Every structure is written in C-alpha cells, then in structure tokens.
Amino acid sequence: MGITSQPSSIVTSLMPAEVMKQNREDVIAKEIGHGRVLTLNRPDHLNSISEKMALMLGQKFEKYEKDENVEFVIVKGAGRTFSAGGELKRLYDGRNTRDSCLEFAYRVYWFCHHLQTYKKPHIALAHGMSMGGGVGLMAPMKFSVVTEKTFCSTPEANLGYHPDCGLSYILSRLPGRLGEYLGLTGVKLKGKEVVAAGLATHFVPSHKLFQLENSLLSINNGEEDTIRSVIDEFSTNVQIDETSVLSKLSIIDDCFSRETVEEILDSLEAEASKKGNDWIMPVLNSIKKASPIGLKITLRSIREGRIQTLSECLRKEFRITINTLRTLISNDLYEGIRAAIIDKDKSPNWNPSTLDKVHDKQLDLIFKPFEEHDLELQIPINEEECRWGGKYENSGYCLRTK
C-alpha cells in the first residue's frame, strides 16, 4: 500500500469516511490550488503509522517543500481518528527477528525531524483520537486544530516504552511539569484541554471543520498571518473549568518536579490524603500499573529533553527505541503490547517488576550512543548540512546490508 496523488477541486477535497475506507492507499494526497492535503488512510487500524506511511509522508513533505507552487500542507485522518501512533502489532510481530523494525523506526524519526523543521506552513486537522506518535505528528505543526471530539495521550510508559517521535522535546517544553505528568500517567486530554496544554493552537467545533478546510484551500498564499486569520474565523476561545486536571497545575508542578519516580509517587500519596484531591488516586493507580522500566526511561528522557536540542532528542529517542526493540535490558515493550492488544488480558508481567529493581546502569545502556557514528540517526545538525540528506537508503544500516 502506497500513496496516491491527484489534482482535485475544493468541492471533492473532503471525501466521506466510507470512500476513504474503500481506497486502500495508506496516504491519500490531493493537490488543490496552492495547498496540498495528505490524509492518513488506515481507518481500520486507527490510522496508525505504518512503515509505508512514514516513507511516503517523508517523500511528499520533501516534494512539497521544494515545489514553489505549494504554499502550505494540510494533514488529517480518515474516519473518526487522527492517528493512534505507531503500528504496535507490526512491532510485536517482529519481536523474534533482530532489527525487523529498524527501517520502520529510522524512517519515522527521520520524518519527525523534517516535520518539526519544515519550511512551509503545515496544518493538522486533528479530529478524534491522537495518541503517542499521533501527538508527535500533530503537535509540531505550525497550526494544529482540534475539536470537541479530540483526545490526546502519551501512554507509552504503560506499554513498557517511552514517548517517541520527538515527544521528549515536545513534552519537556510544556508549562511547568505538565510534560512529566502526561508522560508518566498517559492521562487523556480532551478538546479544549489540548489547546490549553500547548499541544494544539486552535479549537474548532467539529461541525465547522469541513468549511474550515475549504476556506483554507481557497486562499492564494501561504503567509502565516493569512492562514491564522482563516482559522481564527472558525475557532472559539478556550476556557478550562475547575474540574480539568489543568486547573491542578500547582500540585502537578510540585509532585512531578521530584527527582525520581519513587519520590513523585511519595509526593502524590501525600497530596492524595488532602481534602479535594480525589483526582490523584486514579493518577497514582495509573503510574503503579505501568512498566517500572518504562517509567524510569520516560522520566529521564523528558528531563534530558529540557536541555537538549530537537536533533539531540530525536537521536536519543532513536537509540532508546532500537535498544528497546532489541530487548537490551527488558522485553517489557512486547509484554505491554501483548497484554494490551494481543491477548488483551490487561495483566502484563513486567521485568523488572518494581521500581527499585531498575538501576541507573541499566538505563545507561539504553541511552548510550552507538559505538559507530554511522549507526546514529542521520539528521542535519545545522542549516549548512544537506537538508534532506540522511535517508535510510544512505544510512549505515542500509549500506551494510548491500
């Protein structure tokens, strides 16, 4: 399954979900005036990011950046979901073959770098679910629009994994310690909360989304002010009520600023005993059920992300991902996927089983740079380097297999 590209009028730019479902391409690309529309088209799989999807998104974004006739790019999901992130079953199915998903991981991270450093305005119409890598796809765009039916979460630690796709960079730059909170708990933010948290730029009621897209595709230039003014016409102000977890930021900042996961849990336990803090118990339960090693990797990665550049974060996350897939110190990722989506028993057998059994020397192995530089993620460090170089085809991994 690949990608299809075709000119289209504005009238047909928004195909119904059932039409998208009949088109079996992973990504549908449409050329409409000065805009380009990319639709993630795996609705039966919650638009999870496949290897082919990552490859084709990279190819299309490169083509559009170089094309003088293209002013902006819109990305959306077919059906009721934006994207549920990486294709977990693909990872699980390859668990017994070393590096079976290496090319998949490399292409995703390579694309994430170019998405976050894109030279033209890009717009996410993130209606419905956006989880994990889906958040990593939505949040970096110059404009990201959510609706009342949108919800976002980063539940990787619950699977024995870590926030990937640039999320250690994104989460570490949210207000206060909100990034640590979202990364360790996997809690869902809904609709306007996503904007208030800083993961999206606009809230637009879902019934206006069709008209918004048509209006965007009617403009004749890609100036950011022009695009912003169009979206502003359809967006509504965001106000968070007192029941939202975002109204508890002072407690979140206090608890999640602690040095270790254990200290964070102790702090939450203390706060939970106070009147009016009933919301904390579900948070505690969520953390306690997560993979101990996933929690510790997640906290360290986000903390390091606070002082790292985007390139440094992506290279680090790529190392963590490859070492995790190789089960360097634990098979928790595969166990987490098994319990969540394969057997669906919701009873993972974590190894190590408790936080105190996860040692810094183990984590150091996961984070350690590869011994050979050409095995690192090859992305530009500065503007002088080749902007679109470093593709998987030219990486040390691919060249060594030829």
Segment (H or E) for 89: helix 88-93
396 has catalytic annotation = no
Task: Please provide the distance, in angstroms rounded to a whole number, between the alpha carbons at the two ends of the chain.
Answer: 25
Rounded to 5 degrees, what angle do the CA atoms 36, 108, 124 make?
Answer: 35
Query: Given 25, 26, 87, 156, which residue is catalytic?
Result: 156
For 391, phi then psi, to 5°, come to -60, 160
Q: How far apart are alpha carbons 186 and 172 in whole angstroms?
A: 15
For 237, phi then psi, to 5°, come to -65, 150
Closest to 30 (Cα-Cα) out of 65, 85, 68, 76? 76
Query: Given 79, 86, 128, 132, which residue is catalytic?
Result: 86
Q: For residue 250, what are its two tokens?
A: 């002072």
Query: Given 103, 164, 193, 332, which residue is catalytic?
Result: 164
Rounded to 5 degrees, what angle do the CA atoms 16, 149, 243 make?
Answer: 175
Which residue reads 């990011």 in tokens? 49
364 has catalytic annotation = no
* DSSP codes joined into one string, 98-135: TTTTHHHHHHHHHHHHHHHT-SS-EEEEE-SEEETHHH
Question: What one-character DSSP code corresponds to residue 6?
Answer: E
Question: What one-character DSSP code corresponds to residue 369?
Answer: P
Q: How far apart are alpha carbons 32 and 18 in whole angstroms?
A: 21
Q: How far apart are alpha carbons 319 and 372 in whole angstroms?
A: 12
- Amino acid identity of residue 124, one-letter, is A
Q: How far apart are alpha carbons 29 and 250 in whole angstroms?
A: 44
Closest to 129 (Cα-Cα) out of 108, 153, 151, 100? 151
71 has catalytic annotation = no
Q: How far apart are alpha carbons 246 and 263 in whole angstroms?
A: 22
Query: Given 35, 77, 79, 133, which residue is catalytic?
Result: 133
Q: How far apart are alpha carbons 6 and 343 in whole angstroms?
A: 41
Closest to 39 (Cα-Cα) out of 50, 51, 22, 25? 25
Which residue reads 């640039």 in tokens? 166
385 has catalytic annotation = no
User: Which residues are known to be catalytic?
Assistant: 86, 133, 156, 164
